Amino acid sequence: MSLTGIGFILAAYLWGGIPTSYLVARYKLGIDIRDYGSGNVGASNALSQIGKVTGILIGTFDCVGKGILPVLLARWLDQSLAIQVAIGMAAIAGHNWSPYLKLTGGRGVATALGLLVVFGLWPEYLIVGVVVGIVGRLLFRDSGFWTFVSLLALPVMAFLFHRPAEIIAMTLAIGALLLAKRLMANGEPPDPGIGRFHVCLYRILWDRDTATKDEWTNRMPDTTFKN
């Protein structure tokens, strides 16, 4: 790998690490969004805590600005497909583990969707959109589990659609990064009243620490909460 490629990957990590939701919440409400709701520094928590319009704008930036633009720039500068994929993974890693927030961050879903778009995975994108957006959010009002299903199905779809090996590897890496972030959350210790096993299970399957969605998304600041 050339020094140019390494530089692109590092730059993508630092760019992806810009904590959009955190900065907007600080500016508009004067709060640390990590202390509210899911504690997620991403568009989903911004929708709940800041407002729908702001949340949609943040999600658009995380998708287009972090997921699409760095890859397009690398492509314009004739970087290989492998480097482009690595840049996309670095952007997700930066978003999930921001160097500006002591490695806390978002969940990487919007940025991952941007990668599906920029690499032309339109069938996969549409299927994930239906599963997460329509089935999860509109029908069941809880997209966490359906995002989990989509992460498992994404590499299978890429294989069935005969994508290049680099793209199949990318879909596997997307699943690994997003599931790892779910499990690690933002460093919050499991609630002893729930139990470590159940918290880990809830995080992997539903992306929360509690059995019910409202209990999780309506959380308020707690002096014992650690970022």
Sequential pLDDT tens for the chain (227 residues): 788 889 999 999 999 999 999 999 999 999 999 999 888 899 989 988 999 999 999 999 999 999 999 999 999 999 999 999 999 999 999 999 999 999 999 999 999 999 999 999 999 999 998 988 888 878 877 888 999 999 999 999 999 999 999 999 999 999 999 999 999 988 888 777 788 888 899 999 998 888 787 777 777 775 443 33
Q: How far apart are CA 171 and CA 89, in angstroms?
A: 10
Q: How far apart are CA 70 and CA 15, in angstroms?
A: 9
- The three-state secondary structure class of 13 is helix
Q: How far apart are CA 155 and CA 175, in angstroms?
A: 8
- The three-state secondary structure class of 181 is helix
What was the pLDDT predicted at 225?
A: 39
DSSP 143-170: -HHHHHHHHHHHHHHHHHTT--HHHHHH
